[in-house]
């Protein structure tokens, strides 16, 4: 077969007065701007759907006759000019960041993620992690934060799902045509694709760089499908989460190490690096290497510098969700790297992939690499922080549980990306234009009460009707694709009731999410669904991982239920769950059901998307709902219990699910007056919007990342970089000195002035201790009284600390005397002890060195 000798690219030929459409299509601001979305729909509604909402592809496929028509359509031209003007205003207006931090110099944040869910035409995501990353970029753009995204560009993306006639999931991989996507190829000074190389065993692997403009934020995606590579290396970025362990490590080398090299090639200085999950953790090694070579620093000095400007966000509540590579595989790809570039021993290197300092491991853990090289670590909800501390507690020897340095920033959603056009217009009308600019402002959401119930309910009912229409159309497509009968097609055209209570369940089909819990008691479910006066219906959607047969069985079970006569028109399963399906579901569902096994849902964000759309949440107290739940605004399953017997848990919680549906949810939804409006239901919707809308969004989330992590990291890096990293060098030397001499630290004697007598509330317990610091000085340590109630001493969150102060002169024995006092606030029997911690003004937390001395 003949092979092409060369390539050329064809772009749409647009009339001069339509050229602005090209500019609009290449900035993803359109994906969350309803007016621009409507502009693209207006060009050709059928083609807009056919191209999967891809304006670049649509402009390439549109007929010249239609373009010619549009050049004479004054209404369209005015719409186009307005959309472009709005984009220009958006890009030039003064942002939150500019108003508050405009004077900062050379500040940027690099956000690394293996997937980004930005819009449905870009197959660069698989699920919640990617959608969260995409929403993070959009919120950073709205806030004007100087952030840059780094990811991978997958030729086949994530799989497309289809079901066989018996409901078994199969996967289909579609080739993505990057030239017809809203992205551009980065070019070098010769106007050729920018090529960057990463060292692999006995070869170099090259990649090119694609840019997606997300409002004000650039996202760079790395692509190994280039002619310079071998056939196998071209496939490294072929599939998201595809291949075997070797494919995965190759992808993560391109993402982490290649990502840092990309920034260098683009002349972007990485000041703060944020690892969204551990996939990109190799970036910390490349940052260390760059500092060693560029500034002639030692490995330890460079590692310290990186430590103070790396941030790691973990999204998994179980060890099985973390990438772990066999040491042999790591040696294959990093043996030369750590010996020749980092110039460290194998023991030092492999310790980076293990937080258990006193144990050797046969595997290299990517989350542990991130934790060992990032000074700031967080989970994605308050409960997930606790779960993460439990998961990694053994890596923090001697540290009380509540002081393990794993914080949290609860996830959010980019509200404008997930809200219906009708609802956004309603909000602007009653909440004001400021709602668009600052959806995290509680005072704006308080105005929800001003919206008449009639208007809010009418809009939500319209969206439910659109959801039902969409479901019917989608089911017909699914049946036709499977070669189904005409009777099946006719039946699909009548599924669901546009006026019935509609419950949505859509997510990744992992077993812990218990998609089939609602089917635990079939007879009871038939009674719930079969009511003529109070009809209820379920819409399911979601994909199982290609290798997860148990997840596929759950899909098959639900699919087969939809064929049963008693469920046929009341339960449906939509294939190929993606951002478009999700949009219809969150905009139209009355209830969003979520019933994972607590505490296995790190955060979850799908339920947040229904809030502003007038839907209500019904969920297990897990992830974000553990923080968000209030009886006024939604429903819970269980009381936050965690069971050791999963079968018993399923039994108990399925009964609670049915009880709540039967006694609370269904009666409230159908409690109507003469105007047919469910006033009690509307009250719940408004309270949900008011109390949750300002909290569970990415504007609040990204602002929190900025104030808790990004800005402090920048300040610390600025401080230690002064005078050719003088402070970094001194800090490294100080840490080494403390580690070397810590074994000499000893508490010789503790006594109290008034321990034996009973103390009254507001009196002080006065404590003194003689401390042998060996070669250390009082400036190197902090001595603390650690105290609390005796009967609660095993629950560290009930304990407190007080800093003890040293006397200037040593005792005759050469010890330091420390004195402190504890204010007696509560009655009861209390206990105390004394501990010593390393102390330095630059340290992020006192457990960085893994050293703590407790009195014995």
pLDDT band for 814, please (50, 70, 90 cuts): confident
Q: How far apart are CA 64 and CA 12, in angstroms?
A: 10
Q: How far apart are CA 836 and CA 851, in angstroms?
A: 9
pLDDT band for 20, please (50, 70, 90 cuts): very high
* Dihedral sign for Cα atoms in the order 797, 799, 802, 803: negative
Query: How many of the other CB atoms lie within 10 Å of CB of 854?
Result: 11
The C-alpha R_g of the chain, in whole angstroms, comes to 29
How many CA atoms does the CB half-sphere of 214 hold within 13 Å? Answer: 31
State the pLDDT at residue 808. Answer: 73
Instruction: Judge whether 143 and 96 are in contact, CB under 8 Å.
Output: yes
State the pLDDT at residue 5. Answer: 62
At what angle are helices 453-481 and 579-588 packed, to 10 degrees? Answer: 140
- On the question of a cis peptide bond just before residue 599, with omega within 30 degrees of 0, the verdict is yes
State the pLDDT at residue 812. Answer: 77
Q: Which residues pair with 169 in a beta bridge?
A: 163
Q: How far apart are CA 141 and CA 624, in angstroms?
A: 24
Question: Which of residues 794 and 816 earns the better pLDDT score?
Answer: 816
Mean pLDDT of 581-598: 97
State the pLDDT at residue 198. Answer: 98
**In this model, does residue 419 exceed pLDDT 90?**
yes
Structure tokens at 48: 């807009």
Instruction: Judge whether 747 and 852 are in contact, CB under 8 Å.
Output: no
Q: How far apart are CA 310 and CA 307, in angstroms?
A: 6
Q: Among residues 298, 268, 281, which one has the least CA distance to residue 374?
A: 281
Query: How many of the other CB atoms lie within 10 Å of CB of 641?
Result: 11
Mean pLDDT of 369-394: 96
* Dihedral sign for Cα atoms in the order 419, 422, 426, 432: positive
State the pLDDT at residue 1. Answer: 58
Structure tokens at 205: 């692997």
Structure tokens at 798: 């009930």
In sequence order, what are the residues at sequence separation of 6 or more whose Cβ sits closer than 8 angstroms to the Cβ of residue 565?
Answer: none
E strand or H helix at 373, and its extent? helix 366-373
The number of residues in the chain equals 856
Q: Is the pTM of this model over 0.85?
A: yes
Instruction: Judge whether 823 and 764 are in contact, CB under 8 Å.
Output: yes
Question: Which of residues 126 and 795 earns the better pLDDT score?
Answer: 126
**In this model, does residue 9 exceed pLDDT 80?**
no
Long-range contacts of 59-64 (CB under 8 A, 24+ apart): 59/12, 59/14, 59/21, 59/22, 59/25, 60/10, 60/11, 60/12, 60/180, 62/12, 64/13
Instruction: Judge whether 370 and 281 are in contact, CB under 8 Å.
Output: yes
């Amino acid at each position: 077969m003949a092979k092409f000798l060369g390539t050329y690219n064809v772009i749409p030929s647009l009339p001069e007065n339509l050229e602005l459409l090209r500019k609009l299509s290449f900035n993803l601001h359109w994906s969350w701007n309803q007016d621009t979305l409507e502009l693209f729909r207006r060009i050709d509604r059928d083609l807009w759907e056919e191209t999967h909402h891809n304006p670049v592809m649509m402009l390439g496929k549109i007929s010249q006759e239609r373009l010619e028509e549009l050049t004479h359509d004054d209404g369209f031209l005015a719409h186009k000019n307005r959309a472009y003007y709005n984009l220009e205003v958006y890009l030039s207006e003064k942002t939150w960041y500019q108003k508050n931090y405009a004077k900062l110099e050379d500040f940027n944040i690099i956000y690394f993620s293996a997937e980004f869910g930005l819009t449905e035409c870009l197959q660069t995501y698989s699920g919640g992690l990617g959608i969260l990353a995409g929403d993070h970029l959009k919120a950073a753009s709205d806030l004007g934060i100087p952030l840059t995204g780094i990811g991978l560009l997958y030729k086949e993306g994530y799989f497309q799902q289809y079901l066989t006639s018996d409901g078994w999931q199969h996967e289909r991989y579609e080739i993505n045509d990057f030239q017809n996507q809203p992205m551009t190829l980065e070019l070098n000074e010769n106007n050729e694709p920018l090529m960057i190389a990463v060292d692999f065993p006995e070869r170099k692997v090259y990649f090119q760089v694609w840019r997606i403009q997300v409002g004000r934020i650039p996202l760079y995606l790395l692509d190994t499908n280039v002619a310079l590579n071998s056939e196998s290396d071209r496939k490294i970025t072929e599939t998201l989460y595809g291949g075997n362990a070797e494919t995965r490590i190759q992808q993560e080398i391109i993402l982490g190490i290649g990502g840092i090299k990309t920034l260098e090639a683009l002349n972007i200085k990485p000041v703060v690096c944020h690892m969204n999950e551990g996939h990109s953790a190799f970036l910390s090694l490349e940052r260390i290497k760059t500092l060693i070579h560029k500034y002639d620093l030692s490995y330890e000095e460079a590692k310290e510098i990186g430590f103070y400007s790396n941030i790691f966000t973990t999204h998994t509540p179980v060890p099985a969700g973390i990438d772990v590579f066999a040491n042999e595989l790591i040696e294959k790809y990093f043996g030369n790297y750590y010996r020749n570039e980092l110039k460290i021993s194998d023991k030092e290197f492999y310790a980076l992939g293990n937080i258990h300092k006193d144990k050797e491991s046969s595997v290299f853990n990517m989350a542990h690499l991130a934790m060992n090289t990032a000074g700031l670590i967080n989970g994605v909800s308050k409960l997930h922080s606790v779960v993460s501390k439990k998961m990694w507690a053994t890596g923090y020897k001697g540290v009380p549980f509540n002081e393990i340095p794993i914080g949290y920033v609860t996830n959010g959603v980019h509200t404008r990306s997930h809200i219906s056009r009708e609802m956004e217009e309603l909000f602007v009308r009653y909440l004001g234009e400021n709602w668009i600019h600052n959806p995290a402002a509680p005072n704006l959401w308080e105005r929800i009460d001003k919206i008449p119930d009639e208007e809010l309910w009418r809009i939500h009912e319209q969206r439910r009707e659109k959801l039902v229409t969409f479901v019917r159309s989608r089911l017909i497509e699914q049946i036709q694709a499977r070669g189904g009968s005409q009777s099946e097609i006719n039946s699909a055209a009548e599924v669901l009731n546009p006026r019935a209570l509609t419950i949505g369940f859509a997510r990744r089909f992992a077993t812990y999410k218990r998609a089939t819990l609602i089917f635990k008691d079939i007879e009871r479910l038939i009674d719930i669904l079969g009511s003529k006066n109070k009809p209820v219906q379920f819409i399911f959607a979601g994909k199982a991982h290609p290798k997860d047969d148990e997840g596929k069985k759950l899909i098959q079970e639900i699919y087969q239920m939809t064929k049963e006569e008693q469920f046929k028109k009341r339960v449906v399963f939509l294939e190929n769950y993606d951002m478009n399906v999700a949009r219809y579901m969150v905009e139209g569902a009355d209830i969003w059901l979520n019933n994972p096994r607590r505490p296995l849902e790190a955060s979850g964000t799908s339920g947040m998307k229904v809030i502003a759309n007038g839907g209500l949440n019904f969920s297990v107290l897990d992830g974000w709902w553990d923080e968000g739940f209030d009886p006024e605004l939604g429903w819970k399953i269980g009381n936050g219990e965690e069971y050791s017997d999963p079968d018993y848990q399923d039994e108990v919680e399925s009964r609670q699910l049915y009880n709540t549906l039967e006694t609370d949810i269904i009666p409230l939804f159908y409690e109507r007056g003469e105007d047919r409006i469910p006033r009690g239901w509307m009250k719940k919707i408004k309270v949900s919007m008011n109390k949750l809308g300002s909290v569970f969004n990415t504007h609040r989330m990204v602002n929190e990342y900025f104030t808790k992590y990004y800005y402090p990291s920048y300040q610390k890096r600025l401080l230690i970089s002064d005078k050719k990293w003088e402070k970094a060098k001194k800090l490294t030397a100080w840490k080494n000195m403390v580690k070397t001499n810590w074994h000499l630290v000893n508490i010789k004697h503790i006594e109290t002035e008034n321990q034996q007598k009973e103390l009254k509330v507001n009196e002080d317990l006065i404590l003194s201790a003689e401390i042998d610091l060996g070669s250390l000085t009082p400036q190197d340590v902090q001595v603390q009284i650690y105290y609390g109630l005796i009967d609660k001493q095993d629950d560290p969150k009930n304990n407190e600390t007080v800093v003890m102060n040293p006397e200037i002169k040593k005792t005759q024995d050469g010890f330091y005397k420390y004195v402190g006092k504890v204010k007696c606030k509560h009655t009861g029997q209390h206990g105390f002890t004394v501990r010593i911690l390393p102390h330095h003004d630059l340290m992020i937390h006192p457990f960085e060195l893994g050293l703590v001395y407790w009195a014995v």
